[in-house]
Amino acid sequence: MSDENRETQLYELEALESVLRENKLTKTNDWSDENVEIEGIIEVGFDSISDPKVTLEGTSKSGEPFSVPLDILPPIRLKFHLPKDYPSSSSPRLELQSYWMNEKQMLMCQDELKKICEENMMMGVLFLCYQGIIDLIDQMPTRIIKLNEAHILAKNEESIESLKKKILGKGEEAAEEHFANTLFDCEVCYDSLMGSKCIKFQPCAHVFCKSCTFDYYRSVAKGVVSKAMQCLAEGCKSEAPQNIVKEALGDELYSKYEGIMLEKAIREMDDTVECPRENCQKVAYVTDRERHLAECSYCQFSFCNLCKQTFHGVSSCKWKKGDKERLVKDWQEGDENTKAEMCRQFGGAKNVEVLVERFLNEEWLDSNSKPCPKCSVSIEKNEGCHKMHCTKCDTYFCWLCNAALDKEDPYKHFQGDGTCSGRLFEGVHHFMEDDEEEVFEMAFDDGSDYESDDSADFDIEAQLEDWLEEEGHFDDGPDGLRGFDAGD
């Protein structure tokens, strides 16, 4: 009778193994030894449940609550020991092992297993027990695991942190297995294939077959790669796992792709910029933020990180007008990404703001001042004639043509046949004088040696009087004499 039971047990286990997926039935001793009672473990998974999603909730040892979604319930283990007289006279000895089940759930399952064994005496019950556990869990009203109530914690065999880690690992394995054994329609070729031949992108959950995905990735890698490999769905930005990309591209193409992605990642670091030399354009490093010194390790070019010209130490950057205008416009009108890139390139928003303010000031000076022809200092003209005096280098010059004037006779430039002849007061319309003397003082208060005596050139006085008459500062008196207009 014992030999007959042994044969029945082995037949039941063989049938069970054919029904279960690979590696779900494990031997824990030598089943070929007839002197040893058969022992093993059945892994009970729950991917056949219509709604396998679950939430893992609990409170860590530090008192911090957590809530983690899982795609599927982690499996439990059913340990069995088959007596020599099973199934003719006795039932198998069964033990449940679970990381997540609470005391109540464990008792419910144990009662269910006991009931199955009692109702099926003299029959093989291992598959019935396996299916009974799945059906019982499926009937539970909620899909929430309260980890602090786990049965295994009551035995002080696990800490809640290690238990959480194990459950998440098992849950991930279960989700991968469920995907591999589910049928999907590829959104490119529209073939129906098992998940083992497909790729599921995260977090979007789009599914494409490996064949279509790999073909697409290889075609991209052979061209100009500008970003990481992504999901094939239009507009989706989910990135592909690196192991999938490597499998798709092979060693040679993946090496090229990996190098490009590494360089891109380095470029996005705070202390890296692109080398400005056209024949290089590799990654360079900002080695001195205060002096804006950047150095390219490829071509050894040292340059200023602000103006991208050869490093000039403490000297001011020499920006081109177009570069200045473009930088100001990008900062004032650019989107968040543009401004973020500018902050990264120039070492922070403060540096960019200083540059923008400087360029705006320079733009104002360019429009409202002119450089001294000798020392180049900017000089603003807000009133008076066109004979200018630089107090820095004591140079006289013409505001109209910027030509340096003779110190001894600076007004000679506005006489004769030159382009500025007769234009000493051209375009000047904003005097608010109280008397004729003040008008003359304002006209020549810029450092000239003009005095209202015989040493002054009569033509200059004539130009001023003509201009004053045009502006309405003189009127004919009752005796035909010319006097200052009291209305001004």
pLDDT 10s digits, 228-252: 888 999 889 898 888 899 888 888 8
Closest CA to 21 of 40, 38, 42: 42
Confidence of residue 227 (pLDDT cuts 50, 70, 90): confident
Residues 66 and 125 in one domain: yes
Q: What does the pLDDT look like over 114-155, one tens digit per residue?
A: 999 999 999 999 999 999 999 998 887 678 889 888 888 876
Percent of the chain with pLDDT over 70: 82
What is the average per-residue pLDDT within 458-486?
44
| Amino acid identity for residue 60 in this structure | S
Looking at the domain assignment, is residue 371 inside a domain? no
> Which residue range forms the structural domain that includes residue 80?
2-179
Domain boundary among 129, 151, 179: 179
pLDDT for the residue 344: 67
Domain co-membership, 114 together with 227: no
pLDDT tens by residue, 11-31: 999 999 999 988 899 999 999
pLDDT at 211 over 90: yes
Asked if the model's pLDDT at residue 452 lies above 60, the reply is no
Tell me the average pLDDT of the chain: 80
Q: Are residues 12 and 148 in the same domain?
A: yes
pTM over 0.85: no
Cα distances from 23 to residues 40, 72, 97, 177, in angstroms, run 12, 19, 17, 12
In terms of domains, do 107 and 247 share one? Answer: no
User: In this structure, is residue 387 part of a structural domain?
Assistant: no
Residue 293 shares a structural domain with residue 425: no
pLDDT surpasses 80 at 197: yes
Same domain for 243 and 225? yes
Q: Is the pLDDT reported for residue 369 higher than 60?
A: yes
How far, in Å, CA of 73 to CA of 127, rounded?
Answer: 20
pLDDT score recorded for residue 334:
85
Give me the mean pLDDT over the 36-63 stretch: 88
Last-in-domain residue among 356, 372, 395: 356
Query: What share of the chain in percent tops pLDDT 90?
Result: 25
Cα gap 242→254, rounded to integer Å: 10
pLDDT > 80? residue 183: yes
The residue from 212, 236, 260 where one domain ends is 260
Are residues 170 and 299 located together in one domain of the fold? no
Q: Is residue 40 part of a domain?
A: yes
Same domain, yes or no: 57 and 155: yes
Q: Does 393 map to a domain?
A: no
Q: Measuring CA to CA, how many Å separate 168 from each of 71, 147, 160, 162, 385?
A: 10, 12, 12, 10, 85
Over 90: is that where the pLDDT of 46 sits?
Answer: no
Amino acid sitting at position 421: S
The larger pLDDT score, comparing residue 202 to residue 378, is at 202
Mean local confidence (pLDDT), 321-342: 81
Query: What local confidence, expressed as pLDDT, does residue 462 receive?
Result: 56
Q: Give whichever of 25-34, 335-344, 433-442, 454-463 has the largest mean pLDDT.
A: 25-34
Cα–Cα distance for residue pair 407/395, rounded to 1 Å: 8
Higher-pLDDT residue of 174, 432: 174
Question: pLDDT at position 48, please?
Answer: 80
Percent helix, strand, coil in the chain, to 5, is 40, 20, 45
Residues 94 and 201 in one domain: no
Q: How confident is the model at residue 224 (pLDDT cuts 50, 70, 90)?
A: low
Q: Which CATH number goes with the domain that contains 102? A: 3.10.110.10
Q: Are strands 272-274 and 283-288 parallel, antiparallel or unpaired?
A: antiparallel
Query: Both tokens of residue 275?
Result: 């080398």
Question: Is 13 in the same domain as 79?
Answer: yes
pLDDT band at 113 (very low <50, low <70, confident <90, very high): very high
| Separation of alpha carbons 39 and 94, rounded Å | 10
Residues 313 and 168 in one domain: no
**Is 287 inside a domain boundary?**
yes
Answer yes or no: is pLDDT of 413 > 50.
yes
In a domain, 73, yes or no: yes
Residue 268 has a pLDDT of: 62
What's the total number of domains in the chain?
4
Rounded Cα–Cα distance for residues 408 and 443 (Å): 17
**pLDDT at position 102 over 70:** yes
Give the pLDDT score at 456: 40
Distance, in Å, from the CA atom of 378 to the CA atom of 375, rounded to the nearest integer, reads 9
Other CB atoms closer than 10 Å to residue 2's CB: what's the count?
10
96 and 208 fall within a common domain:
no
Q: Band of the pLDDT at 90, cuts 50, 70, 90?
A: very high
